[in-house]
Amino acid sequence: MNYKTIESVITFLRMDNPPVKREDSQEHIIIKEFAKPIDIAEYLRMYRDVGAELNWLDRFFMDTSELNSKINHPNTHIHTFSINKKFAGYCELIKESQYVEILYFGLTEPFIGKGFGKYLLNKTIELAWNLNPEWIQLNTCDLDHPNALSTYKKAGFKAYKTKIEEKRIK
């Protein structure tokens, strides 16, 4: 497959305090931590299913041993989302000494635009705060879903930095 490189605007966001916990539940949604060791092929299938339309490519260019080390590191927490027993997306959290980074968060195409994103983002934020950080952070770029930045801000994140990076796209 041929790839090209473009400039992309990256926005870095941070949340310094947990939001008010919502007591909503959706019985048809299951959030489950991925058991380790995580199989690389299964991980990449999930990564592709969520990120293909958003040009998530970084993990495909990563050396297999490096990827295995990252996804199976004790500080990496990957949670899958199932809706009505169908894979709907996942989040990947990285616990650092002071903060938790939401490295990846996304839904598969059949579940986008149906109201699940807000609920699952709130649950992801809750999972991140459950790791007892001083703050949580994430970044998004102009290649992500057009509503990503505004959704993160509505959830309580504040932008603190932007930069331009070269990104590979299909």
Give the DSSP H/E element, type plus range, for residue 12. Answer: strand 4-15
Q: For the domain 4-19+27-169, what is the CATH code?
A: 3.40.630.30
The DSSP letter of residue 22 is P
The pTM for the full model equals: 0.93
Share of the chain above pLDDT 90, in %: 75
Please tell me the predicted confidence (pLDDT) of residue 96: 97
pLDDT value at 149 more than 70: yes
Region at 113 (left for phi over 0; alpha for psi -120 to 50; beta for the rest): left
| Closest by Cα among 43, 19, 55, 53 to 168 | 55
Lowest-pLDDT choice from 15-19, 90-94, 105-109, 166-170: 166-170
pLDDT value at 128 more than 90: yes
Is residue 79 a contact partner of residue 91, using CB atoms and an 8 Å limit? yes
Angle, nearest 10°, between helix axes 64-71 and 40-51? 80
Across the range 92-104, mean pLDDT stands at: 98
Please tell me the predicted confidence (pLDDT) of residue 1: 62
The average confidence (pLDDT) of the chain is 93
- Would you place residue 3 in the very low, low, confident or very high pLDDT band (cuts 50, 70, 90)? confident
Q: How far apart are the first and last CA of the chain?
A: 8
| Closest by Cα among 13, 41, 8 to 100 | 13
Please tell me the predicted confidence (pLDDT) of residue 164: 95
> Phi and psi of 102, rounded to 5°?
-85, 95
Please tell me the predicted confidence (pLDDT) of residue 98: 98
Domain regions of the chain by residue span: 4-19+27-169
Is residue 124 a contact partner of residue 81, using CB atoms and an 8 Å limit? no
Report whether the peptide linkage leading into residue 37 is cis, meaning its omega lies within 30 degrees of zero.
yes
